[in-house]
Chain A
Amino acid sequence: MSVNRRTFLQGTAGAIGLAMAQGALSKIVYAQDAAGTLRVAIAKPAGNLDPQSHYAIWAIQDLMFEPLVRYGKGGQIEPCLATGWEIEDGGKTLHLTLRQGVTFHDGTKFDATACKWNLERWMGLEQFSWMNCSKQFQSLEVIDDYNVAVHFKEQPLALMQELTYTRPVRFLSPKSVDADGKFKDPVGTGPWVQLSADDTQSVFEHYDGYWGDKPTYERLEAKVIPDARSRVAALRAGQIDLVGGFWIAPLTAEEGKQLESDESVNVVVDPGNVTLVMAFNPDRAEALKDQQVRKAVSIAIDRAAISKVLYHGYAKPAGNIFSGALPYAGTQYDAPARDAAAASALLEKAGWTGSPIRMKDGKPLTLELVVSPDAVPGSRVIAEVIQAELKEIGIDLVVRSVDHASKHTDMLEQKYDLGFFLTYGAPYDPFGSIVALCLSTFHNDVEGKLVTDAVNLDPLINAAMVASGDQIQPAIQKVYDWLRDNDAIAPLVYVPSIWAHSKRVQGFASPITEYDMPYENIVLAS
């Protein structure tokens, strides 16, 4: 058969038409398959869902396991499996009233016995001593079927906040462990029951016996899509309904911006409650011992331009270690505006002179910034911006990119002059980050330290840790003031929480913490 121009054009037109029809049809087919199912993207398999292990995606555990109390907007503590709580005996006793009529997915009743079994799985163990309530745990007393009293050696800091965490505090059915007490199946009291889980997806259906408001749709599928661009493509193709979340399947600001122009997708941006902070390491870089140099570095950075260009305006420049969205965040200051002239003047005053790179005692002002784009997304580009900005004031900034594992090692071993840290966000902050990242006596073998000063800062943090009631705010404010007055850290931006969903998802609201799955208010359009 010979191919003439006409046949060729007809064939090509037919092929294009078929491809377009296939695209449109596949969307319809995907939509039909998904009736009554919310399909969420996750960046990696859900992992070991044992609430006492540290490997699973938090948000997947959140679907099945519930805490005693929930972390509400602005840090409000809301009832969940406990309907009432009272802190007695100067903070050393916690009296809990448990919710009645709650059953685990396997039919086991949630009562004081189940509560005691769960709390004793982790409270008081060395492994969980990073939690104040576990560190201070003394004993647990069952008063009756629905009343429990927990006794502590000392008043634990931020007790109720700690009880909202995902792990290790959430509740597992006592029957879902083997004879040795090891985790067997993910059986909780939450609104979702896991049907299956493998490396490609985890499938859940709603729990008919759930005590609270049941989801309005029957199934939830968490689909594993490791590549960010594939997630965006899957959302556009109608294969998934929801993507986003810092720990679930992160969307970059650029991806959010691109999706905004897509009519079949809604982009939801929340200011977030995680802060990107730059750390100074004066122990390694002699120059950074001088506060004037630290301040010069801080005010030479154009936070507004970083927020506007690199985050497309989704992020807000940070003037504090914690955003106002968190409780006890302290007095909120505006982010410092870039002032290269003032920064140069500070360096001159500190004795660093000359150009293009400033010198002092024959040594050039060279600093090393360690970045890991795997650990802090987008950090390499931010580092390049800071590198150019510091060059203008005569600082030679060497950017060293490392992988995720090396970043942790380098930070722990203090092999950096400047480094990026992310605060933990709600529900851990402000105390989580302050204690783990700034208290020199606290053993932190994961992130390293943002700043430490055993003489000046530790007493302030310790005072804030033992404060109670109205004393907490002024005590922690002293910590913030010390950090600010000494230019000990340079907060850069509040990292936004970016989500995108298809039009069939209605009523979506960003989760209150980055550790929750935002399924609650969603209604699926048919």
Chain B
Amino acid sequence: MNMLKTILAQINKMPRAALITIGLFLALGIFAPWIAPQDPSAQNLLDAGGGPSAAHWLGTDNLGRDTLSRLIIAANTSLVSVGSVLIIAMTIGILMGTIAGYHRGWVDDLLMRIVDVGLSIPSLITALAVIGIVGPGYWTMVMALSLAWWPMSGRISRGVAVSIMSKPHIEALRVLGASPWRIYFGHLLPGTIGQVMVYATADAGTAALAVATLSFLGLGIQPPTPEWGQMLVDALPYLESDPRQVLLPGFALTAAVIGFNILGESIALNRIPKPLTRRMLALRRAEVASWGKENSNA
């Protein structure tokens, strides 16, 4: 019950609009196949570019497919691909970071130099190189982006791991004769995962944008799977004659990216201790003053 209260209190501190946007994105992404009113790949060429109607609430695209259904299914595509990218990237990153943070010395130096090399190359360039070698496709894209993404979480994990390792309770564990496995799996890894997860939220927006970019370039998700970046590039020739086709996926993508960024920023800021308000300061002073009184009374 207390845990639920803590979570609710944490959520309450976050910006509402971003929370609702991301909540909607997650809900659409998870339940897309049941929510989508029509088959997103069903074409009706003679109905191509149709405006909003009772049958198609947001109209149809250049091949007569239901735009609403495609937007919803695309949320699922983005959620699954972004989720997969972050899970793979963070698994690699956290493993490398915690091993470096735990072991220190030459292992730390070696792993961090590898991370430095990864960080020095722009992530999209790395992804493009991998796709160029392996060839375009859904899972190639996920692997390519994961390879491009892990160094960042590796760097953060190492920082977090080093700070955890220098905490008194770890020293106490060592003195008490805890095994390295117990320290690593019981204390270091859970503590690091929790903290690095926070940064993943902020990264989700960038990853969603990278997925859309690769699909926009024709290197990511292949047809007929709907994806916002793909929908944008398909609609681009109709920018003038039917801007709706471009605006809708563009809006969905923008909302998801901004939502993730604001949310990630707010979580990160919430973790930094804020200066005390005047009221709080006055209360604390009063309390400290009362200690003196208590002492003198004694």
Residues of A within 8 A of B (CB): 229, 252, 254-255, 257-258, 302, 305-306, 308-309, 373, 380-381, 383-385, 387-388, 391, 398-402
Contacts of A252 in B (CB 8 A): 237
Q: If A252-B237, A302-B45 touch, does A373 touch B63 (CB 8 Å cutoff)?
A: no
Q: If A309-B46, A309-B48, A400-B136 touch, does A254 touch B237 (CB 8 Å cutoff)?
A: yes
The 8 Å CB contact of A399, one of B223, B237, B239, is: B223
Whether A305 lies near B45 (C-beta < 8 A) is yes
The 8 Å CB contact of B46, one of A305, A381, A391, A399, is: A305
In the bound assembly, the distance between CA atoms of A310 and B63 in angstroms comes to: 8
Whether B42 lies near A388 (C-beta < 8 A) is yes
20 more contacts with CB within 8 A, not counting A229-B239, A384-B223, are: A254-B237, A254-B238, A254-B241, A257-B241, A258-B241, A305-B45, A306-B45, A309-B46, A309-B48, A309-B63, A373-B218, A381-B62, A383-B223, A385-B45, A385-B63, A387-B223, A388-B224, A398-B222, A399-B222, A400-B136
Whether A380 lies near B218 (C-beta < 8 A) is yes
In the bound assembly, the distance between CA atoms of A391 and B39 in angstroms comes to: 13
In the bound assembly, the distance between CA atoms of A401 and B135 in angstroms comes to: 9
B264 to chain A, nearest CB (A): 32
In the bound assembly, the distance between CA atoms of A401 and B217 in angstroms comes to: 10
Interface membership of B38, Cβ < 8 A: no
Whether B136 lies near A401 (C-beta < 8 A) is yes
The 8 Å CB contact of B240, one of A258, A385, A398, A401, is: A258
Q: If A373-B218, A401-B218 touch, does A385 touch B43 (CB 8 Å cutoff)?
A: yes
Contacts of B234 in A (CB 8 A): 381
A251 to chain B, nearest CB (A): 11
Interface membership of B41, Cβ < 8 A: yes
| A-B pairs, 3 with minimum CB distance | A401-B218, A305-B45, A388-B43
Whether A388 lies near B41 (C-beta < 8 A) is yes
Contacts of B222 in A (CB 8 A): 398-401
Measured as residues with beta carbon below 8 angstroms from the partner, the interface class of chain B is 20 to 34
In the bound assembly, the distance between CA atoms of A208 and B286 in angstroms comes to: 101
Whether A384 lies near B224 (C-beta < 8 A) is yes
Contacts of A381 in B (CB 8 A): 62-63, 234
B219-234 to A contact mask, C-beta < 8 Å, 1/0: 1001110000000001
Q: Which residue of A lies closest to B241 (CB)?
A: A258
B198-236 to A contact mask, C-beta < 8 Å, 1/0: 000000000000000000001100111000000000100
B224-266 to A contact mask, C-beta < 8 Å, 1/0: 1000000000100111110000000000000000000000000
In the bound assembly, the distance between CA atoms of A402 and B222 in angstroms comes to: 11
B128 to chain A, nearest CB (A): 11
Q: Which residue of A lies closest to B43 (CB)?
A: A388
Listed residue (B41, B43, B63, B135) with the most chain A CB atoms within 10 angstroms of its CB? B43
Listed residue (A252, A255, A309, A399) with the most chain B CB atoms within 10 angstroms of its CB? A309
Contacts of A398 in B (CB 8 A): 222
Contacts of B224 in A (CB 8 A): 384, 387-388, 399
In the bound assembly, the distance between CA atoms of A398 and B237 in angstroms comes to: 24
Contacts of A255 in B (CB 8 A): 237
B32-56 to A contact mask, C-beta < 8 Å, 1/0: 0000000001110110100000000
In the bound assembly, the distance between CA atoms of A258 and B49 in angstroms comes to: 14
